[in-house]
Structure 1
Amino acid sequence: MTTRDDQQAVVEVIAGLVDAWRRHDADAYGAAFTEDATYITFVGTYYRGRGDIIESHRTLFAKYLKGTQLADEILDVRFLGPDIAVVTGRGESYKGDHPKKLTKVQTYTLVREPSGQWRVAAFQNTKRKPIMEAISFKTAPGLIPAAQR
């Protein structure tokens, strides 16, 4: 059975990722992941393992994501058992003002390790395509999610 403390601990893992990104600390960012975690970027790059996640973010923070911040909004936290949580959210990397729209949809699968520490075991980041989504909804209304009807 999961508790309010479990919910808070899972939310804190995500907040820790945002904070590590703010500091461009690839080691702290990677520490939130399990040793064998998988990480899929919005461009489709697949990373496996904490080391790969750390090294890729070290490069990203020094080059393409230099000076960026991470905006994150948790939409849902579901526990699939006492030691597994799925977090769905929206996110965006940005410079300057906080973005009005978060254009990426993200799924985090977290596990509670034997030590009691929650860590991300899998991450998927998908870039939304609102125009394509709107066209598909208009031409095939059955595709509209129930929450948007």
Structure 2
Amino acid sequence: MNNETEAVDAVEAVIRQTVAAWNAGDADAYGACFTADATYVTWVGTRYQGRDEIVRSHAALFRSFLRGTNLADEIVAVRFIGPDAAIVSSNGDVVKGGKRPEDAKLMKAQTYTIVREADGAWRIASFHNTKRKALMERISFKFAPETAPAAA
């Protein structure tokens, strides 16, 4: 196995760890996937700064609005911007009501910046989550086709 393959595996493992922690409702394990100074932006635009704030807010969310939910996350691309940093694009969503994550319609576009820290562990330094507006995309692509991404 080469170094790049190992790095991709390690980066993807961080995403799997966040999913497992979320699905367990474990805010501490979820927060452990982030750097101490991580930036976290939710789909509604709330910005959290630092692991402590991510843990605190998710503990409250897992006790209330997000209780019993599952996280679905499908990695679209991993791009290294150096030996110790990668940008991960994914599609994801929160699954409620006993639905299976693999059956979820993934309506959120997510961007992670994942870094290898001094201890050798890969962690999320930045996360941004945006809810897709499929109707607005279709309208834009219809009236200005050049706005559609090549992969669309």
Do the two structures share a fold, i.e. TM-score over 0.5? Answer: yes
CA distance in 2, matches of 1:94, 1:6: 29
1:97 to 99, 116, 128: 99
Deviations 1:12-33 (A, max 9, x none): 0000000000110000000000
Q: How does 1:105-124 map to 2 (within 5 A)?
A: 105-124=109-128
Between the aligned partners of 2:47 and 2:94, the Cα distance in structure 1 is 19
Q: Which amino acid aligns with 2:14?
A: V
Q: Unpaired runs of 5+ in structure 2?
A: none
Rounded to whole Å, the distance in 1 between the matches of 2:114 and 2:20 is 18
- Matching residue of 2:71: 70
Name the CA distance, whole Å, in 1 between partners of 2:4 and 2:148.
33
Moved over 3 A (4+): none
Report the Cα distance in structure 1 between the residues aligned to 2:112 and 2:3, rounded to whole angstroms: 17
With the length of structure 1 as denominator, give the TM-score of the two structures.
0.96
Alignment partner of 2:151: what SS? Answer: helix
* Match 2:131 to one of 127, 139, 145: 127
Q: Which residue of 2 aligns with 1:20?
A: 21
Which amino acid is the alignment partner of residue 50 of structure 2? G
Q: Which residue of 2 aligns with 1:147?
A: 151
The count of aligned residue pairs is: 148
The alignment status of 1:48 with 2:33, answered yes or no, reads: no
Let me know the Cα RMSD of the aligned residues: 1.2
Q: Which SS does the other structure have where 1:110 is aligned?
A: strand
> What runs of 5+ residues in structure 1 fail to find an aligned partner?
none
Match of 2:36 in 1: 35
Amino acid at match of 1:113: E
Name the TM-score, length of structure 2 as normaliser: 0.94
Deviation at residue 100 of structure 1 after TM alignment: 3.7
Q: Distance in 2 between matches of 1:2 and 1:48?
A: 31
For 1:100 and 1:93, the matched residues in 2 are separated by 8
